[in-house]
Structures are given as structure tokens and as C-alpha cells.
Amino acid sequence: MDVFLTSYREEILQTLITIVILVIVRFIFHKAAKKVGELSDFNTARTTLIIKYINVSLSIMLAAILSLIWGVNFNDLGLILSSVFAVIGVALFAQWSILSNITAGVILFFSFPYKIGDRIKILNKDFPTEGIIEDIKAFHMHLRTDEGELITYPNNLFLQIGVTKIEKDSQDDAIDSI
């Protein structure tokens, strides 16, 4: 055991420093995501989903950094990574809409001006929709129409088309005029 510790003292020290730094970064990112969720009054499930994305990303970074610290041969690593990325590339090309919806879900978490309970109108000329946001998930959003229909709308479409928030005052005025 002493031989191992003396032989790999530098690698062990670099590994410990890397883990400590990534734990601190993870803590900062978690606090930031929770703060954004609180300030924007997001559902806790949405915040939890973003935190899972952060954990996966940091775990991949940790594995890559540790493989470099412990001296993985770059030729072998290049062969492995090219093979893995080729398979992932084919899989992601086949599932492009899923990837774009996940990415849109993350973007919507940080920049979407609407929240659960807001009444919105989707400005789509082929399929205009109006309803109340019931839930925002990783891939799609649930809208409840006045007729009681539950409409599932993909997240990536919210980044491509116009969406209008219908204020409660204008709803009340429309009801009063009838």
C-alpha cells in the first residue's frame, strides 16, 4: 500500500483536488438553479430536472478529467471516443426531436416568461391554441383548454412560434361584456 501511495502520490493529489473543485462547482450550480427556480416561481419538479442535468454533465466532466489525470493513452482514448460518438451520433440523429425537446426544456427553464397556472395563447396559424399551463416537463408542456382538453405541446415549438400571455383583467373584461 505504501508503494502505491508513493508511486501515485501526484495523481492521488490531483484526483482529490479535482473532486473537491467539482463538488464546489456542483454546489454553486445547484444553488443557482434553485435560486432561479425560486425567483421565477417554478415548479419544484422542473428545478429537480435541471439539477439532474447538472449532475450528469458534471459526472461526465469528472470521468474525462480523471482519465486524463491517471494517464489514459490518448490513442486508445481517441479510438474509444470516436467509436462512442459515432454510435451516439447515429442514435441522436434518429432521436433528434427528443434531444431538441430536452435542450428546449433547459432553455425554457431559465428564460420562459410563463409559469404553471398562466393562461397563454399559442400563435400558430395552423393550430391556434389557448389554455392554461398545467405542467412543464422535460420534453413537453401540458395545456388545459376551456373545453377541458389536455393538449401536450413539444417544448421545442415554444422556441419557434409566438406565445402570448392572456392577462386575467382582459379575461374578466371579456366576461363582463357578455
Mean pLDDT over 138-150 rounds to 89
The phi and psi torsions of 167 (rounded to 5 degrees) equal: -70, 150
Q: How far, in Å, CA of 114 to CA of 121, rounded? A: 11
Q: Per residue in 70-127, pLDDT tens?
A: 877 767 767 777 787 777 777 666 566 777 777 887 787 777 777 888 899 988 888 8
Q: How confident is the prediction for the chain on average, in pLDDT? A: 82
Clarify whether residues 8 and 65 are in a common domain. yes
Domain-terminating residue out of 72, 94, 128: 72
User: Looking at this protein, which amino acid is placed at residue 23?
Assistant: V
The torsion angles phi and psi of 65, rounded to 5 degrees, stand at -65, -40
Whether 94 is covered by a domain: the verdict is: no
pLDDT at 35 over 50: yes
Residue 83 lies in a domain: no
Find the mean pLDDT for residues 3-19: 88
The answer to whether position 87 is within a domain reads no
Residues 144-159: b if buried by 16+ CB within 10 A, e if exposed: eeeeeeebebbbbbbe
Bridge partners of residue 152, in order along the sequence? 142
| pTM exceeding the 0.85 threshold for the entire prediction | no
E runs forming strands in 36-149:
119-123, 129-136, 140-144
Q: What pLDDT does residue 176 have?
A: 43
| 119 in the same domain as 170 | yes
Q: In angstroms, rounded to a whole number, what is the distance separating the alpha carbons of residues 134 and 145?
A: 10
121 vs 4: which has the higher pLDDT:
121
The answer to whether position 157 is within a domain reads yes
Could you give the angle at the alpha carbon of 17 between the alpha carbons of 16 and 23, nearest 5°? Answer: 90
- pLDDT of 174 > 80? The answer is no
Q: Dihedral sign for Cα 123, 128, 132, 136, please.
A: negative
First-to-last C-alpha distance (Å) of the chain? 84
Of the pLDDT bands very low, low, confident and very high (cuts 50, 70, 90), residue 163 is confident
pLDDT, greater one: 128 or 74: 128
Of 72, 94, 120, the last residue of a domain is 72
pLDDT band at 177 (very low <50, low <70, confident <90, very high): very low
pLDDT above 60 (res 12) = yes
Q: How is residue 94 written as a grid cell?
A: 434518429
What is the structure's pLDDT at 125? 82
Q: What is the number of structural domains in the chain? A: 2
State residue 150's pLDDT score: 93
Domain residues for 39? 2-72
Same structural domain, 58 and 115: no
Establish if 173 belongs to a structural domain.
yes
| Cβ proximity of 142 and 132 under 8 Å | no
135 with 141: CB under 8 angstroms?
yes
Cα(176)–Cα(172) distance, integer angstroms:
6
